[in-house]
Chain A
Amino acid sequence: MTTLTEAPPKASAVLGEPKKKRNLLPYILLAPGVLWLVIFFLIPIFTAVSASVQTGSLDMGFKVTWNWANYSATFSTYNTEIVHSLIYSVACTVICLVLGYPLAYFIAFRGGKWKNLLMALVIAPAFTSFLIRTIAWETILSDHGTVVRIMTDLRITNLMDHLGLITGNHVLNSPFSVVFGMVYNFLPFTVLPLYTSLEKIDPRLHEAGRDLYCSGYRTWRYVTWPLSLPGVIAGTLLTFIPAVGDYINAYMLGSPNTQVIGQVIENEALRDVFGYPIASAMGVILTFGTLAIVLAYVKKAGSEDLL
């Protein structure tokens, strides 16, 4: 064993990991995707702010006139629609959670080797045109259909009428059918993050819970639920926020009394010659609302779990 005392080779860095020198490769890989999102997602937020304070018309063009009135106009003119959007989204999110959690739980813990297939079945309907599927509800819930007839016979429609969910025995074109359609469309968005987080839970933790004196319910309450919380929050975010802006369900399954803010934006943007600025204003409000919620979450829980 000889001890050679030559100078150390020049490649050795002073400390830490010499291999990870200032590597440009990750930045090259990231650049196109990140640029695409910055240019077509972030920057448009700023152009929308600028657009929201413009006035003009489609024929004559728009100019920035610092017309902040668009913002106050939104809240005064369209406050019913805003309220509708919020109420429907909250109802939809809560119901999706109540329905989606057992489903995700079942697939994660009782699915066994069919897990992947079952999840695929949950997602698969979402892959066919959701417009057409929403239209299908027109058939299922139509007054002449079996479902509504049964509901009328069982006096369920009566009860719903009293609660203000529907009018008469007519299930369609009501707040009920709008939220119903929303739940249908957004359920996979709730189930997927829930499933992802539940699936990661080691089933032996349940056994540990039972071993430590927890009944079935308490095992869930003290072991499973806290561990699934990240999934619950992700699922809630990914359901509530898009739901606020959704209007397909309101359009197809609703009535003039169930208008939501999304419809207003589309109308103002596409059908009102002067409407582009106010549509932008509403878009800006929604965008900053979204940003606020997401950033509040990131502050609390960090950003690593997001994706």
Chain B
Amino acid sequence: MTKTFDWIKAHTLLFVSTLIFIFLIAPNAVMLLFSFNQPANKYNFIWNRFSTNAWKNPCASSDMCSSIKLSVTIAIIAMILSTVLGTMVAFAMMRYRFRGRTFLNVLLFLPMAAPEVTMGITLMTFFFNTTGSNSLGFGTIVIAHVMFSLSYVVVTVKARLAGMDPTLEKAAADLYATPIQTFRRVTLPLVMPGILAAALLSFALSIDDYIITVLTAGNEVTFPMYVYASFQHSVPAQIDVIGSTMLLITLAGITFAQVPQIIKTRKA
């Protein structure tokens, strides 16, 4: 009797999980599909007929493409800044003793837990009161993006550091490596995957952000802002093209990350 129950239970889990996976993936599939649609009206919601038009003319709306350029630029700068700052914090937390750990933990947790709209509006008031209401723009967007992605970088790098054998650095010192040499030759190579993952994460968070960005953007228009604003009057297939491109790049990235692992396991 229990055997049958176990079978059902084991497979219910599989069944439910598969359903949830489909739920998560469906919109991506739809987006991919509809990038090949020629919408009958201004909204790309209903299938009309197959066409590669959108892929051939991705920048039919020049506003959209300039917003993409802006988003990518901001994302790159924010990625570099938050990765550097966040990695430094992660190292300090994992390798040293210092006072104020609780304060630091809470300070890092809050931006992940807080509603984006509160971070956006409070930043807006900060800039209004310090640099004036005309100061909103590229710089303020970058500042905001670094602010909210910092915590995610710290968490990611911290996790990687935690998985590192602490005796390795001692072994290096035992083998005549000065602290700088130990860092360069042992610590850094082993943490690098975590740092890269954190960089990618902060890039993704930045390029996709709407709420905080719109409140600190002033007159600039990023890609998410473009999509949101134009949603009221049109949703062209080009938007699905951009979304699909982002998806494919992400999937390619994940695949390439797995390849060295697969090769390693095959060889051994």
Binding site for B on A (CB under 8 A): 20, 23, 25-27, 29-30, 32-34, 36-38, 40-45, 47-48, 50-51, 58, 61-62, 99, 102-103, 105-107, 110, 116-117, 120-122, 124-140, 142, 144-145, 184, 187-188, 215-216, 237-238, 241-248, 251-252, 261-262, 265-266, 269-270, 276, 279-280, 282-284, 286-287, 290-291, 294-295, 298, 302-304, 306-307
- A140 contacts B105, C-beta separation under 8 Å: no
A20 to chain B, nearest CB (A): 6
Give chain B residues whose Cβ lies under 8 Å from the Cβ of A248.
210-211, 228
- B246 contacts A23, C-beta separation under 8 Å: no
Q: Decide: A30 near B98, CB < 8 A? Known: A129-B242, A270-B215, A286-B115.
A: yes
Kindly state whether residue B171 has any CB partner on chain A within 8 Å.
Answer: no
Q: Decide: A262 near B117, CB < 8 A? Known: A41-B147, A103-B20, A248-B210.
A: yes
Chain A minimum-CB-distance residue to B215? A269
Binding site for A on B (CB under 8 A): 2, 5-6, 9-10, 13-14, 16-17, 20-21, 23-28, 30-31, 34, 43-46, 85-86, 88-89, 91-93, 95-98, 101-102, 104-119, 121-126, 128-130, 133, 143-144, 146-147, 150-151, 154-155, 158, 204, 207-208, 210-211, 214-215, 223-224, 227-228, 231, 235, 239-240, 242-243, 246-247, 250-251, 254, 258
Q: Contact check: which of B6, B14, B27, B239 meets A125 at CB < 8 Å?
A: B27
- B124 contacts A269, C-beta separation under 8 Å: yes
- A140 contacts B89, C-beta separation under 8 Å: no
- B109 contacts A303, C-beta separation under 8 Å: yes
- B9 contacts A307, C-beta separation under 8 Å: no
Q: Decide: A34 near B14, CB < 8 A? Known: A136-B27, A246-B115, A247-B117.
A: no
A143 to chain B, nearest CB (A): 10
Kindly name the residue among B95, B117, B133, B204 whose own CB sees the greatest number of chain A CB atoms within 10 A.
B117
22 A-B pairs, CB-CB below 8 angstroms? A29-B96, A30-B92, A36-B150, A37-B147, A40-B146, A107-B17, A110-B10, A128-B243, A128-B250, A184-B23, A242-B115, A245-B116, A245-B211, A248-B211, A251-B228, A280-B122, A286-B115, A287-B118, A304-B105, A307-B108, A307-B151, A307-B155
- B208 contacts A130, C-beta separation under 8 Å: yes
- A184 contacts B27, C-beta separation under 8 Å: yes
- B117 contacts A129, C-beta separation under 8 Å: no
Q: How far is the CA of A29 from the CA of B240 in the complex (A)?
A: 42
- B119 contacts A41, C-beta separation under 8 Å: yes
Secondary structure dominating the interface of B: helix
Give chain B residues whose Cβ lies under 8 Å from the Cβ of A128.
28, 31, 208, 243, 246-247, 250
Give chain B residues whose Cβ lies under 8 Å from the Cβ of A105.
13
- A36 contacts B45, C-beta separation under 8 Å: no
- A102 contacts B13, C-beta separation under 8 Å: yes
Give chain B residues whose Cβ lies under 8 Å from the Cβ of A251.
228, 231
Q: Contact check: which of A47, A121, A140, A303 meets B102 at CB < 8 Å?
A: A303
Chain B minimum-CB-distance residue to A294? B113
Q: How far is the CA of A290 from the CA of B110 in the complex (A)?
A: 8
- B125 contacts A242, C-beta separation under 8 Å: no
Q: How far is the CA of A262 from the CA of B17 in the complex (A)?
A: 32
- A287 contacts B114, C-beta separation under 8 Å: yes
Q: Contact check: which of A124, A127, A137, A238 meets B112 at CB < 8 Å?
A: A238
